[in-house]
Structures are given as C-alpha cells and as structure tokens.
Amino acid sequence: MKLVELGLLYALIGVGCAVAVIARPAADRARRVTDAVLVAGLWPLYGPFLVLQGRAGVVEFAPTESEEAFLAALRRARGTPLAVLLPDENQVLALASRLRVASGKVAEIDALLLRPEYCERDALQRRSELQGRNASECAQSSASLRLQNIRRMRALRDRFARELDDVGELLVQLRTQADLVRIAGVADPGSRDLVDEIVSRVEGLDRMIDDDPRAFGGQDVAG
C-alpha cells in the first residue's frame, strides 16, 4: 500500500472515530468535542483511553478545567501564524495529561485534608498534650511527624494550585495573543517566548512531587 493510501486510511479512521465520539449520548458536548479533536488525529494513542472510559466504572478520563483550557487555547492558536510555534500532537497529548494529573493532585489533597487526622489544629493540640504530660519520646516524635506531614501536604497542594493558576493565566494570554496575531497576520517576537513558557510550566508539573520536601515550603514543626 502506498504512503498516500496509508495516510488516507489513517485520516478516514480518525474521522470515523471522531464521528463516533460526537455521537455518544452519555458525555456532555464540551467533553465530546475535546475527545473528538484528540481522537481524530491521535486515534492509535487516545482511542484506548476512550475505550477504557466507556467500560462502566473502570477508568474515567474526563478532561479537567485546566486541560480543557489548554486544549482550547491551542485550538485557537492553530488557526493563526502561531501554529508553527506550537508543540506537535503527541506533545500536546502528553502536556494535557500532565495538567490532568496536577489537577487531580489538588483534588486528592483537598479530600485528604478534610479527614480528621489531617486537622492541623488537632495535631498541634495533641502534640502539646503529649509534651505537657511528658509522654514517651516515640509518641512525641510521631505527633511531630504527623504535624510535619500535614504542613507539607498543604504546602504541596498550594504549590500545585499556584502553578495551575500561572498556567491558566498564560493560556488566557495565549488566546488573546492568537486573536491579535490572527488580525495582524504575523506573530511578534514575544509569541515564541510565551509558547515556550507554557510548555515549560506544564512539563515541570510532574517533577514537583519529586522535589525535596523543603522546596514545598514545609515549615519546621517547632512552631
């Protein structure tokens, strides 16, 4: 089979998958459109995710707000001279996945911090009680470590949230830049820096969890 015929077959399969995704009755419209755009060009990679998503209760890959904003900004920029500066489709999928994971971390930590054992006030009080009655060194150390873990968890949550806020504002800037470039017909020198900054910020999200805990802003538990 010739290369042109293979390309045509690939495109036809992608269009067919996109039509099938759009026709799904269960998903909301915004989600269907996002899935359709991704599966049309990346059906060998994104298709299996959608299959898993369709199996009741197995895996849920609903795009997060940050992921949706990222894909929407790139879609707007692709119709302008900025298109040559944007990452390719494989990189877009990887970056969107990082945003989904980071948003999930914030939601997961928020859920954990609602649990009684993560109440910082109670942890402080418990440590003071143990110190006041001269409890064993093991008990006092455990109470201090619990407090330290809570503070580090909060600091990590805040850091992820700040990074997502920064990325969100950069994406708004990209959308407005795309409109300006579309009207002007040419990208200004700062456009490449903006795209590079967005990509760099998103790529850095999955490295944050591996940083030294002190980089999260964790406080000394002596306070």
pLDDT, mean of residues 143-159: 93
pLDDT, mean of residues 64-83: 86
What value does the mean pLDDT of the chain take? 78
pLDDT at site 217: 43
Chain centre to alpha carbon of residue 210:
16
pLDDT at site 139: 94
Chain centre to alpha carbon of residue 183:
31
pLDDT 10s digits, 90-149: 888 888 888 988 898 899 999 999 999 999 999 999 999 999 999 999 999 999 999 999
CB 85 within 8 A of CB 195: yes
pLDDT, mean of residues 80-86: 88
Give the tokens for residue 118. Answer: 């993560």
pLDDT at site 78: 86
Tell me the chain's radius of gyration from C-alpha atoms.
Answer: 23
CB 153 within 8 A of CB 113: yes
Q: DSSP label at 2?
A: -
pLDDT band at 21 (very low <50, low <70, confident <90, very high): low
By CB atoms closer than 10 A (0-12, 13-18, 19+), residue 134 is exposed
Task: Tell me the CA end-to-end span of the chain in Å, nearest whole number.
Answer: 71
pLDDT, mean of residues 172-197: 87
